[in-house]
Structure 1
């Protein structure tokens, strides 16, 4: 899967799935634009990419800020002149129920990062993707397809359910322009996102709950991203790929 001369823009690229995808794209010859808030982590990912591929372009930005989103697209186009692949990966997890005192503040924060940012990024990138006949991969979650049996996640699950349907609608709209749009819905993945959300359960405890008795690592999801972005998936659009070690079976 060669991505030589392709420009790949990845949000949430400072760690986890975004970082693994960036390194994988770089290995395959892509020029990658890394977007994230943590400058130190972004630099580490930049160094890892540079070891085996092209030195990526770093954009320190917060995708929940409209001005930053505009700047991400403007600086990427100024640097590379085009965009071939957009990976809307930035996201956050939060725990709230409809009876929670913080429901509205949590809802606004999560929707701004998980959904609104993806909508605005896609809106601004779409004209460039039409020119390049490129594609979009949105990182969703199985949480958008089922209820949480452990702790309520009203806002998070709603954001991912909305992202799924956003993906399908945009896929239908952009298909006549030759642009493919797909999503990936991981189950639990070994990343910082659960720790940042204050999850105390160990990975071993989570593994025991899953039918396959394991948790995915970021590279497994990165492999799916590269497949969907490649010509091997040229007939695939409007699809959602679940990679959850059987969690949807529970």
Structure 2
């Protein structure tokens, strides 16, 4: 069966690059009307142009920092003012940090939790009434760092563990209202986030990925489209009775502790 989101309004946060960009592009291919949120206006415009080229539907873009109350409020208000409804909320925006308790500080903790937990909590809170009205659904982007314990994944792993439990709690609360809530948990995935937190050159990053591949049971790291396909599946009617699920897309990495490759980034 073909997956279609014709006349559906989909909000994707963190849509200016990486996994968020891939999610936006796949929803565009499926005919969705998009609200794209990010902090980099130029990147958002570029992604929006690529989305519009799929089906001729121009996305609505919002430049906002979702770690702030103002950013969440602007995102919710502007999306509903522009479209009048919301069918799917994809909470993808997030930041990472590679540190451990012996060298960390509270700014790192606050930065990660403000975006990865508080921002998701706040934006979801603001948009739940609209999702109840549309009988829509929510897909959160988590990480296997929330379940695989590894030195160097603090406080990012803590934040993703919190997001997983948030998913289950809100799924239970909203199920009687007809709103489904699920999460996709990527493993080692090609994106810019590792380069940002390590300062790796492109060559260093590619070497790191090749080393990472050897830790994945299926022998390949994920790309953004792998994650996007699962997001779209969970958001579609194909998953109409799926809620409270945390779905790993990782080539089996969570079974072998392969994320210990991240510990190499701790100085």
Tell me which interval the TM-score lies in, with the shorter structure as reference length. over 0.9
Q: How far off is 1:96 after superposition?
A: 1.6
Deviation readout 1:75-95 (Å, 9 max, x if unpaired)? 001100000000000011101
Partner of 2:59: 56
Partner of 2:223: 217
Deviation readout 1:20-49 (Å, 9 max, x if unpaired)? 111111111110000000111111101110
The 8 Å contact of residues 85 and 136 in structure 1, kept in 2 or not, is answered as yes
- Are 1:42 and 2:51 counterparts? no
The 8 Å contact of residues 94 and 110 in structure 1, kept in 2 or not, is answered as yes
Runs of 4+ aligned structure 1 residues displaced above 4 Å come to none
Q: How far off is 1:199 after superposition?
A: 6.2
| Separation (CA, whole Å) in 2 of partners of 1:49 and 1:155 | 34
Q: How far off is 1:192 after superposition?
A: 0.8
- Are 1:111 and 2:126 counterparts? no
The 8 Å contact of residues 31 and 55 in structure 1, kept in 2 or not, is answered as yes
Partner of 1:99: 102
Partner of 1:24: 26
- Are 1:90 and 2:96 counterparts? no
| Separation (CA, whole Å) in 2 of partners of 1:226 and 1:103 | 37
Partner of 1:70: 73
Where structure 1 has 5 or more consecutive residues not aligned to the other structure, the ranges are: none
The 8 Å contact of residues 4 and 29 in structure 1, kept in 2 or not, is answered as yes
- Are 1:208 and 2:211 counterparts? no
**For 1:32, what is the secondary structure of its paired residue?**
strand
The 8 Å contact of residues 97 and 154 in structure 1, kept in 2 or not, is answered as yes
Q: How far off is 1:246 after superposition?
A: 1.4
**For 2:99, what is the secondary structure of its paired residue?**
coil
Where structure 2 has 5 or more consecutive residues not aligned to the other structure, the ranges are: 257-267
The 8 Å contact of residues 96 and 103 in structure 1, kept in 2 or not, is answered as no
**Aligned residue among 130, 138, 141 for 1:139:** 141
| Separation (CA, whole Å) in 2 of partners of 1:190 and 1:158 | 22
Deviation readout 1:47-97 (Å, 9 max, x if unpaired)? 110111211000011110111110101000110000000000001110121
| Separation (CA, whole Å) in 2 of partners of 1:72 and 1:22 | 16
Partner of 1:169: 169
Partner of 2:35: 33
**For 1:242, what is the secondary structure of its paired residue?**
strand
Name the stretch that deviates more: 200-209 or 52-61. 200-209
- Are 1:244 and 2:264 counterparts? no
| Separation (CA, whole Å) in 1 of partners of 2:247 and 2:41 | 31
Q: How far off is 1:249 after superposition?
A: 1.5
| Separation (CA, whole Å) in 2 of partners of 1:214 and 1:90 | 24
Partner of 2:263: none
